Amino acid sequence: MRPGRASLLETGLAPLSIDVSKPPVDPIALFAPPVTAAWLEIGFGGGEHLAAQAEARPDIGFIGCEPFINGVARLLSDIDGRGLDNIRLHADDARDLLDVLPESSISRCFILFPDPWPKLRHNNRRFVSPQNLDAVAHVLADGAELRLASDHMEYIRWMLFHVLRHDAFEWRCEGPEDWRRPPADAKPTRYEQKALSRGDPCVYLRFRRKDRESACGT
Ligand X SMILES: C[S@@+](CC[C@H](N)C(=O)[O-])C[C@H]1O[C@@H](n2cnc3c(N)ncnc32)[C@H](O)[C@@H]1O
Smaller CB separation from ligand X, 146 or 210: 146
d(CA 81, CA 12): 12
Check if 167 is active-site.
no
170 touches 210 (CB < 8 A): yes
145 touches 108 (CB < 8 A): yes
65 lies in the binding site for ligand X (CB under 6 A):
yes
Query: Judging by DSSP bridges, how do beta strands 106-112 and 37-42 pair with one another?
Result: parallel
What's the N-to-C CA distance of the chain in angstroms? 44
The site map against ligand X for 110-149 (x = CB under 6 A) is --xxxx-----------x----------------------
202 touches 196 (CB < 8 A): yes
Collapsing DSSP states into helix, strand and coil, what is residue 90? strand
Tell me the helices (H) and strands (E) count for the chain, helix number first: 8, 7
168 lies in the binding site for ligand X (CB under 6 A):
no
Site residue total, ligand X (CB under 6 A): 21
Catalytic residue (choose from 115, 134, 167, 178): 115
Choose the stretch contacting ligand X; rule: CB under 6 A; options: 19-27, 29-37, 63-71, 171-179.
63-71
Smaller CB separation from ligand X, 31 or 151: 151
d(CA 79, CA 51): 7
155 lies in the binding site for ligand X (CB under 6 A):
no
Smaller CB separation from ligand X, 157 or 214: 157
205 lies in the binding site for ligand X (CB under 6 A):
no
d(CA 74, CA 5): 7
64 lies in the binding site for ligand X (CB under 6 A):
no
Smaller CB separation from ligand X, 35 or 98: 98
- Residues identified as active-site: 115
Binding-site ranges for ligand X (CB under 6 A): 42-45, 65-68, 71, 93-95, 112-115, 127, 189-192
